[in-house]
Amino acid sequence: MAGKPRLYYFDGRGRMEAVRWLLAAAGVEFEEVLFETAEDLQNLSKGGKLMYKQVPMVEIDGMKMAQTRAILRYIAAKYSLYGKDLKEQVLYSNHFLHVYNALKDHGKNYLVGNQLSWADIHLLELILMVEECKSDALSAFPKLQEFKTRVSKLPRIQKFFQPGSARRPPMDEACLKAAKKIFKLEKGLFLKYSSTILVEL
Ligand code: GTS
């Protein structure tokens, strides 16, 4: 039997948080190797484990997977969170252009088809991050509020919200300092999916 997936990153959200969310939603237990220093990252890189000398890296099914989107796509497909066919899979990208209309118009519980998918997990994660910045961000969007309540109540998501889970808190000063040290950042941006700026350094 294959072992648990092993996630390599630092002890913060960054690009790995979406992977943690997706594995949690799939009900998959995983292990984490957390870097504390630039040397930790260099050693892994020198050992030939990092395809692009970058993390996130996830060891899963005998592979050392790099590139966040590829990792997410693999996990979603493996655990049936990717839409059941090509038509549902293409809806995923379309809905992120028109999430609100999608929820309003099709009258179903989930964004794609009528079952939980990667799209729902991604949206919930984004909603929660936006609310961390502005707590009343959903006040004019009742469908998004309903969506958030519905998906948050799923047992695996409830478990992910419990203290002690792999879910990471918002970046604080200490976490930023650690990331800067590991990745030798002087100045730059943490990006999510190359589009949503999480924090400016
Ligand atoms: N396109 C890659 C992905 O999406 O996974 C980018 C990965 C990336 O830039 N990783 C950074 C890294 O390993 C860390 S972080 O931005 O995710 O925090 N940097 C080290 C380096 O030497 O590039």
Closest ligand 1 atom to 54 CA: 13
Q: Which domain holds residue 106?
A: 83-153
CA of 190 to the centre of ligand 1 (A): 9
E-strand ranges in 36-180 read: 57-60, 63-66
Q: Which residue's CA is minimally distant from atom 14 of ligand 1? A: 55
Verify that 57 and 97 share a domain, yes or no: no
| CA-to-CA separations, 61 to 5, 42, 127, in angstroms, rounded | 8, 24, 31
Q: Answer with the one of 117, 134, 153 that is the final residue of a domain.
A: 153
pTM of structure = 0.90
Q: Is residue 1 a part of any domain in this protein? A: no
**How confident is the prediction for the chain on average, in pLDDT?**
87
Task: Please report, rounded to a whole number, the percentage of residues in the chain having pLDDT higher than 90.
Answer: 64
Verify that 47 and 88 share a domain, yes or no: no
Verify that 65 and 88 share a domain, yes or no: no
Verify that 23 and 48 share a domain, yes or no: yes
Verify that 10 and 45 share a domain, yes or no: yes
Q: Please count the other Cβ atoms lying within 10 Å of the Cβ belonging to residue 85.
A: 9
Number of folded domains that form the chain: 2
In this predicted model, what pLDDT tens digit does every residue of 27-48 receive, in sequence order?
999 999 999 999 999 999 998 9
Verify that 15 and 112 share a domain, yes or no: no
CATH code of 115's domain = 1.20.1050.10
First-to-last C-alpha distance (Å) of the chain: 43
CA of 110 to the centre of ligand 1 (A): 31
